[in-house]
Structure 1
Amino acid sequence: MRWGALALAVATLAGCASTENALKDANTLLTEREADKLLPVTNLSPYALALGRFGRMLDIYKEGDPVIYMQTRSILDATNLSSPLVGAEIPGDITEMVRTAVNRIGARVVYVPYHPDYLVSQAQLGAKFGVTMPDFLITGALTEFDRAIAGAGRVNSAGIEFGKGNGKTTLGGDIKRTAIYSALALDLNLVSFATQQMVPQVQASNVVKVLNFSSEDNASLGFYGDAFGFKLEGKYLQGRHSAIRTLVDLSVLELIGKATNTPYWRCIPNGTPDPVVVENMRAGYNALTPELKLGLIQVTLRKYGEPVQVTQKYDDATRQALEKVYAQRYPALGAVDVMTWQGFEPLFFGVPMAWDTAQKPALVGAAPASGVAAPVGSKAGA
């Protein structure tokens, strides 16, 4: 009987440890791990969508204008914290991130690569190609990396003990949370390629905070000297490279938005007007002659879908289009004089975009005829 049981056990073990079962287990393990494997995803920062919107905005605001050609100098780390001697905590060269951000905008802003060694080697092989000179150069650097600028921690503990002797029981637990913030900053400037001078007030200087968060949970249970427990630890360190890409996308948007004097902040949820762009447009508009102002008003009305002709005259079609647009979109302004910047500003900065929220209809009873004052010295049909 004993030998029979032993033979049965050996046969059972031999059957379980077969080549067929090993292959089956390997295939099962492979299937499970493949199902859990993380797949690549598109590397988009929160401002990547804004760059695409900005490209569509340029298609509307800069219709008919020449393409802007951009190039960059090397955008490097000026803090020296990218050195391997200090742990290489941040990238030493973010030029490629800047190129990607510029190229994301669209056909109105074209990036011109600069690889002279490649061009020379291709020319030696007989290649023929033209050279596009850029309009602007982007310069800048990572200028700040302040570690642990602020931090805080909290600990909650509790314990209870009851019973005596062999029935003594203890319960305990604690919760610990720690958060530390660091800061990264990027400075970008725009240089005119023709003059090799920086474009005044066209720069971007932005900072992002990076979070280092850790958690720890402990619990224990004891019975008369014998105890067991568990401990859970977690840590989240916001990616510094990802944070820098966010900085790059925002800074490129701001830089080119200022350079083109377009309301780029409308591409960002809850964006606020840029005083540099507003002031540039105010000064430029006030410097125009009345005829050129009327021409710009008519061009802007066409962006609202109004079928007016650019005649540089305050004709009936222009008057009716102004009354319609201001009554429907800006009824709270009342009577305005579009020949002044205060009257023209909402018309210029409020050109409809595809991502805008639906506008409220004009209030019933709003009189379109009194919504826009006739330009001084002009009359219908003049």
Structure 2
Amino acid sequence: MGHGNFSGAAERGGKARTLLFCALAAVAVLSGCATPLSPKEDALFQSYASATDRPATRPVRSMSSFSDSLVCMDRMMRDAEVPTTLITSKYIPDFSGRVPVAAKEMVITALSQMSRQSNAFRYVDFEVDIARQDTVQNLTTILLNNNQMELQRPALYVSGAISFVDQNVLSNRHSAGLSGARIEAGYDRSRAATIIGLEMHLGDFRTRTLIPGLDSANEVIMGTSGQGLDLAGRIGTYGVQFNVGRDLVQGSGAAMRTLVELAAIELAGKWTHLPYWRCLTLDNTHPEFQRQLRVWYDEGDRTTRSRMVQRYLASRGYLAASETALPPGHALLREAVGRFQADVGAVVTGEIDFPVYERALRDFVAVGEDGQLARVGWAELSAGQTKIEPFTIDLQIENTSRDRTAFEAGTHIFASATISRAAHLFCYINDANGNIVKIQPNMLSPESLVSANQAIRLPDWMVPYPAFVLTAGAKGSEALMCVATNEDPMLKMPPELNVPALTRMQGVASLQALREQFEAAVGAGNMAAQTLEWRILPARPAAAAAAGKNGAAQ
């Protein structure tokens, strides 16, 4: 027995000496290689850095529950013919220091999205705070001081601040553990809620006074939660540990965008005296809207999702009815998806991903009587039985006058055209002398393909030097016609009609004859057209006009 114990001990001692010898040998080898490493040896490894540094997912459009409400307000103000108001804003501070977001930039974005069609607000970008002035601001100040630049004074300004951040207003934590001779286990769960408040006001820039009643005070709750499980045990002389956890942290950026867009809608609605609450009761303002659509997106397979989206695109005119079974990489499908993404303000990728799925099927989701989100019309959409949305163009006179069908000679006329989906847009003016001139596209806007739901100004009065001006000519009548087509019609039009912009067209008797040429080129079902006409009144003598103005002032 004693001899056997001695042999086992000697064997273990030999193994230990062998391991020690190997470790010392490895140290000696590494010590001998203490010279600097050659960059060439890592060249192949480092070559993967550029590709690895790229994001793993595509960018997506930053949206909130009220993004569609901004579009709703834009259309409401367009229908109400709200005039353009110059507006600016103060810096939106966060005195708590816990919400590091650019709230002022979110205000600018919200005002811009509410003005795509209506032109209701035009932001004056002038920073008063010297600490926040940039190169453009410094150049602006120099030009202003030298009387080489005129700054338009805004009528309104936005004032506000992140009023409070109450962290962990609610906090809940549970933990439990189990311990034994060879095993230990522990479970932990925690939940917390933080409240962010935002207050914004509209002020009169001329008097620097805040207008009573034009205010917004809202708050939003951000939640955090986590679960964790720990296991530890021993198997013989070895120990085993295992840990798994899940955490959810709702960021302050999305919460602040929601508050800012809600405040912008409230302030714009109160300023224009419009029923803005109609835009706040949309089904997609439900907080679970996108999360529920994501669940439905994950439940379906790729083929089903693609067919659903393709049939929706066909119902909106982006695809032909016979093109609803295209493979994902088909050129026609990528083109249609790209145009749809551009029209809804999404990042254009041409891929049917979740943002496209959500934007396409949101019209088929509604809040039921039980307050839960439910699918509406999905069976009809799957069968391709949905109603095809007509292709429309909205052409309007933008002059701030009661009668927009008659103008005095010499009056500058302003118009705009808005199309329901991305298309090729062409506009023509028929003056009092019978001349027909193409004004869109032109040298400043040479591309005929334009996005949907964005007012194309005719002329573009937002730029210092527009490509043309529309001025009422001699006594008689004039007309403006705009035509939108799914494909480029100039490839099929007669050469004499494909003339440069702002030149007289030959061989065209009327706008109606020109419209018939478009119908022959692309087909009546693949285009939309609208014509506006106005009468030209004799210009009043200067003395009579001045007397009329004085009388009106009195």
Q: Which residue number corresponds to residue 177 of structure 1?
A: 189
* Residue 187 of structure 1, CA deviation: 0.7
Work out whether 1:70 is the aligned partner of 2:91.
no
Instruction: Return closer, same or farther for 1:123/1:142 CA change in 2, 3 Å cut-off.
Output: same
Please state if 1:122 is matched with 2:143. yes
Q: Of 85, 103, 109, which residue of structure 2 is paired with 1:94?
A: 103
Match of 1:139 in 2: 159
Give the number of aligned pairs: 241
1:32 to partner: Cα distance: 6.6
- Take 2:227 and 2:239, find their aligned partners in 1: how far apart are those partners? 23
| Greater helix fraction, Structure 1 or Structure 2 | 1
- Give the Cα–Cα distance (whole angstroms) in 2 for the partners of residues 22 and 147 of structure 1: 47
In 1: Cα distance, 2:142 partner to 2:38 partner: 61
Q: Which amino acid aligns with 1:141?
A: A
* Distance in 1, Cα, partners of 2:158 & 2:270: 13
> What's the CA shift for 1:22?
5.3
Please report how far the alpha carbon of residue 54 of structure 1 lies from its aligned counterpart in structure 2 after TM superposition.
1.6
Extract unaligned runs of 5+ from structure 2. Answer: 1-36, 129-136, 287-401, 403-452, 454-554
Partner-residue secondary structure (3-state), 2:166: strand
**Aligned partners of 1:175 and 1:216 also within 8 Å:** yes
Q: Which residue in the other structure is 1:227 paired with?
A: 239
Change (3 A) 1:195 1:154: same
For structure 1, which runs of at least 5 residues remain unmatched after alignment?
Answer: 1-16, 83-88, 162-168, 273-309, 311-353, 355-382
Instruction: Label 1:241 to 1:34 Cα distance change in 2 as closer, same or farther (>3 A).
Output: closer
Q: CA deviation at 1:144?
A: 0.8
Q: Compared with structure 1, are the counterparts of its residues 128 and 189 closer, same or farther at alpha carbon in structure 2 (3 Å cutoff)?
A: closer
Retained in 2: the 8 A contact 1:185–1:205? Answer: yes
Paired position in structure 1 for 2:78 = 59
Identical counterparts, % of pairs: 21
What per-residue deviation string (whole Å, max 9, x for no partner) do you get for residues 167-195 of structure 1?
A: xx855533322111111101111223345
Specify the code of the residue in structure 1 equivalent to 2:88.
Q
Summarize the Cα distance change of 1:44–1:127 in structure 2 as closer, same or farther, 3 Å threshold.
farther
Contact 1:76–1:92, Cα closer than 8 Å, also in 2: no
**Residue of structure 1 equivalent to 2:175:** 155
Aligned partners of 1:144 and 1:185 also within 8 Å: yes
Q: Which amino acid aligns with 1:102?
A: L
Q: Secondary structure at the match of 1:114?
A: coil
In 2, distance between residues paired with 1:115 and 1:25? 48
Cα deviation digits, residues 47-90 of structure 1 (max 9, x gap): 23322332122112x22x3212222233222xx322xxxxxx22
Structure-2 change in CA distance of 1:175 and 1:32 (3 Å): farther
Structure 1 residues 218 and 153: CA distance shift in structure 2, 3 A: same
- In the TM superposition, residue 112 of structure 1 has moved relative to its aligned partner by 2.0
Question: Which of 175, 196, 212 pairs up with 2:224?
Answer: 212
Alignment of 1:260-279 (within 5 A): 260-268=272-280, 269-270=282-283
Aligned to 2:96: 81
Matched residue type, 1:150: L
Partner of 1:254: 266
| 26 and 196 in structure 1: CA distance in 2 versus 1, 3 angstrom threshold | closer
Query: 1:18 and 1:75, CA in 2 relative to 1: closer, same or farther beyond 3 A?
Result: closer
Question: 1:217: how far off?
Answer: 1.8
Aligned counterparts of 2:183 and 2:197: Cα–Cα separation in 1 = 48
Structure 2 partner of 1:188: 200
- Give the structure-2-normalised TM-score: 0.38
User: 1: CA distance between counterparts of 2:211 and 2:57?
Assistant: 45
Verify the 8 A CA contact 1:76 1:93 in the aligned structure 2.
Answer: no
* Deviation larger for 142-151 or 18-27: 18-27
Counterpart AA for 2:141: V
What is the deviation of 1:146? Answer: 0.9
SS in 2 for 1:99: helix
TM superposition shift of 1:196 = 4.1
**Using the alignment, how far apart are the partners of 1:143 and 1:230 within structure 2?**
44
1:318-338: per-residue Cα shift (whole Å, max 9, x none)? xxxxxxxxxxxxxxxxxxxxx
Q: Which aligned pairs between 1:1-80 and structure 2 lie closer than 5 A?
A: 23-27=43-47, 29-30=48-49, 33-34=52-53, 37-60=56-79, 62-63=80-81, 65-77=82-94, 80=95
Question: In 2 relative to 1, CA 103–35 (structure 1 residues): closer, same or farther, beyond 3 Å?
Answer: closer
Give the 3 Å change call, closer, same or farther, for CA 146–34 of structure 1 in structure 2: closer
Higher relative contact order (CA 8 A, sep 6+): 1
Residue 244 of structure 2 aligns to which amino acid in structure 1? L
What SS is found at the alignment partner of 2:126?
A: coil
Q: What amino acid is the match of 1:154?
A: H
Shift of 1:234: 4.3
Q: Distance in 2 between matches of 1:47 and 1:207?
A: 14
Return the alpha-carbon distance in structure 2 between the equivalents of residues 218 and 136 of structure 1.
58
Distance 1:58 1:235, change over 3 A: same
TM-superposed deviation, 1:205: 0.3
How big is the alpha-carbon RMSD for the aligned residues of Structure 1 and Structure 2?
3.7
Residues in 1 aligned to 2:99 and 2:233: alpha-carbon distance in whole angstroms: 44
- 1:183–1:208 CA contact under 8 A, matched in 2: yes
3-state SS, counterpart of residue 210 of structure 2: strand
Q: Call closer, same or farther: CA 1:189–1:158 in 2, change over 3 Å.
A: same
User: Partner amino acid for 2:217?
Assistant: S
Q: Please give the alpha-carbon distance, in whole angstroms, between the structure 1 residues aligned to 2:145 and 2:208.
A: 30
